Amino acid sequence: MLEKNKSILISKIKQEVQNHVDLTTLSDGDLQKLAENSLEQYIIRSKENNHITYRELIAMNFREKQTVISAVYESIRGLGVLGQIINDQDITEVMINGYEDIFIEKAGRLFKMDNRFESKRELEIIITKFVSMAGRQVNESEPIVDTRLADGSRVNVVMPPIALNGPIVTIRRFPKEAMTVKKLIDYGSITPEVAEVLEMLVKCKYNIFVSGGTGSGKTTFLNALSNFIPRDERVITVEDSAELQIKNVDNLVRLETRNAGPDGSGAISIRDLIKSALRMRPERVVVGEVRSAEALDMLQAMNTGHDGSLSTGHANSTYDMLSRLETMILQGAAGLPLDAIRQQIASALDIIIHLSRLRDKSRKTVEIVEVLDYNQETRKININPLFEFVEDENSTLTKVSGSLVRTKNKMINTDKLISAGESRIV
């Protein structure tokens, strides 16, 4: 059946179901059964109509019928078209630009879908539904909200009057199974040698920062690194919207920010959560992402005995990340001298792992550097590149091949390795 005709059929069956009975009295199973019966009755009654031919209807196989029934159920009880889309595990990102335009990302490439919401009102109802389920709200007075779906997907919503072409929804999907280092190796993001080094660094409690651009895989990489944290440690995670999937730590506490209420009070920020986390006797603090003044609190945590802490941030390169951290710290402590900020950064961070989305849309680890000291003369933080991504000669404009290669630089800050009794010095 053509996609357009399927959408028309779903709309017609939905109308029949809604006209049949008070849907609030039906269980989920009864609603699905009603949708199935309505579809069968519609096929029997239909000889031919203006949009869907009888021949198309009777030719529908079991799978196609189940797709229609599920779509009708989702549109009434679930998230409508959105529910159908997020059931596709191959979709990694959803971009809804108003009720008529839906774009998705699969295998790193964007596609426009034929699906659409029936109306702006339907999209608004669905947005209100999943935002309220997460304990948040969105309206004209509070038109921007960050939240998550039940499956952990990250959601950003921007509503009119801020959004001029209707409600805008952007959803970042995460795999149901937590990312592992083995998968990163299989994807070609890192090599077995790099994985061995990262395992050493995490277990020996080096403070590690993962940087990269939008969609480069920072959170995914952080999830993989968390697999190296010893099971018997106490770990506190701090996030804007809970996305981390740390599975192997028993003593795990997860904290999530909260927006202000209708009266403007009750907001809980990343800074608030970090300060609270430090009172919970953590052995490691994992901050999902730093974007603003909370960078200062994160670095102070790393500098006050919480070795092995992890975090991520947006940047185009390792040096850009150091510069951005300076800017973020100044947002929280405007009067702090620049020299003091750079000394704080150099003292707190041990390792920066930089990720990038290459021209063929693949996600790669492109650099792993050691953060050294702050040079008073040059007024720069010294770094020591340990691994760099090198392209193969076979690379083309549409396919990038290559791997992380060990530089000739020896690792300098080996104190934590030695203290942990680690003989394999990088």
Q: What percent of the chain has pLDDT over 90?
A: 43
Domain boundary among 77, 98, 130: 77
Choice between 21 and 378, residue whose per-residue pLDDT is larger: 378
Choice between 183 and 150, residue whose per-residue pLDDT is larger: 183
- Which residue from 382, 355, 352, 356 is spatially nearest to 369, judged by alpha carbons? 352
Q: Which long-range contacts (CB under 8 A, 24 or more apart) does 411-418 make?
A: 411/370, 411/384, 411/386, 412/370, 412/372, 412/384, 413/350, 413/370, 413/372, 416/204, 416/205, 416/206, 416/307, 416/350, 417/200, 417/204
Q: Are 290 and 313 within 8 A, CB to CB?
A: yes
Q: Which pLDDT band, with edges at 50, 70 and 90, does 119 fall under?
A: confident
Collect all residues with Cβ–Cβ distance below 8 Å to 405 and sequence separation of at least 6.
387, 388, 389, 390
Q: What is the pLDDT of residue 77?
A: 66
Q: Which pLDDT band, with edges at 50, 70 and 90, does 25 fall under?
A: low
Mean pLDDT of the chain: 86
Choice between 68 and 316, residue whose per-residue pLDDT is larger: 316
- 289 in the same domain as 144: no
Question: What tokens appear for 337 in the block?
Answer: 């001298």
Residue 425 placed within a domain: no
Q: Which pLDDT band, with edges at 50, 70 and 90, does 1 fall under?
A: low
Residue 411 placed within a domain: yes
Q: Which pLDDT band, with edges at 50, 70 and 90, does 262 fall under?
A: low
- 316 in the same domain as 413: yes
Per the structure, the count of domains in the chain is 3
Looking at the predicted structure, is the pLDDT value of residue 224 above 60? yes
Q: Please give the single-letter amino acid code of residue 122.
A: E
Q: Which pLDDT band, with edges at 50, 70 and 90, does 23 fall under?
A: low
Residue 424 placed within a domain: no
DSSP H stretches of helix in 52-119: 54-58, 62-76, 81-86
Looking at the predicted structure, is the pLDDT value of residue 276 above 60? yes
- 385 in the same domain as 249: yes
Q: Which pLDDT band, with edges at 50, 70 and 90, does 425 fall under?
A: low
Q: What is the mean pLDDT of residues 39-52?
A: 70
Looking at the predicted structure, is the pLDDT value of residue 235 above 80? yes
- 343 in the same domain as 269: yes
Q: What is the pLDDT of residue 295?
A: 93
Q: What is the pLDDT of residue 305?
A: 81
- 391 in the same domain as 261: yes
Q: Which pLDDT band, with edges at 50, 70 and 90, does 20 fall under?
A: low
Residue 248 placed within a domain: yes
- 235 in the same domain as 189: yes
Q: Please give the single-letter amino acid code of residue 290.
A: V
User: 365 pairs with which residues across the strands?
Assistant: 355
Domain boundary among 29, 56, 77: 77
Return the SS3 of 404. strand
Residue 55 placed within a domain: yes
Q: Which pLDDT band, with edges at 50, 70 and 90, does 269 fall under?
A: very high
Q: Please give the single-letter amino acid code of residue 398.
A: T
Helix axes 270-277, 294-302, angle to 10 degrees: 20
- 34 in the same domain as 112: no
- Tell me which H or E stretch contains 276: helix 270-277
Distance CA 133, CA 128 (A): 8
Q: What are phi and psi of 261, to 5 degrees?
A: -80, -175
Quote the pTM value.
Answer: 0.76
Q: What is the pLDDT of residue 360?
A: 82
- 84 in the same domain as 73: no
Domain boundary among 27, 42, 77: 77
Distance CA 4, CA 194 (A): 49
Q: What is the mean pLDDT of residues 234-248?
A: 88
Residues 348-407 pLDDT 10s:
999 999 999 888 888 889 999 999 999 999 999 999 999 999 988 888 877 888 888 999
Output the furthest CA–CA distance in the chain (Å, rounded).
86
Q: Which pLDDT band, with edges at 50, 70 and 90, does 214 fall under?
A: confident
Residues 153-198 pLDDT 10s:
888 999 999 999 899 999 988 766 667 888 888 888 899 999 999 9
User: 371 pairs with which residues across the strands?
Assistant: 383
Could you tell me whether strands 402-406 and 363-375 are parallel, antiparallel, or unpaired per DSSP bridges?
Answer: unpaired
Instruction: Give the domain CATH number at 161.
Output: 3.30.450.370
- 151 in the same domain as 130: yes
Residues 296-336 pLDDT 10s:
999 989 988 889 999 999 999 999 999 999 999 998 888 88
Q: What is the pLDDT of residue 286?
A: 95
Looking at the predicted structure, is the pLDDT value of residue 260 above 90? no
Residue 426 placed within a domain: no
Residue 371 placed within a domain: yes
Q: What is the mean pLDDT of residues 28-35?
A: 81
Residue 324 placed within a domain: yes
Distance CA 184, CA 174 (A): 14
- 96 in the same domain as 244: no
Residues 186-208 pLDDT 10s:
888 899 999 999 999 999 999 99
Q: How many CB atoms lie within 10 A of CB 87?
A: 15
Q: What is the pLDDT of residue 218?
A: 92
- 53 in the same domain as 133: no
Domain range for 6: 1-77
Looking at the predicted structure, is the pLDDT value of residue 48 above 60? no
User: 155 pairs with which residues across the strands?
Assistant: 147, 171
Q: Which pLDDT band, with edges at 50, 70 and 90, does 423 fall under?
A: low
Instruction: Give the domain CATH number at 398.
Output: 3.40.50.300
- 110 in the same domain as 56: no
Residues 279-295 pLDDT 10s:
999 999 999 999 999 99
Helix axes 62-76, 3-20, angle to 10 degrees: 50
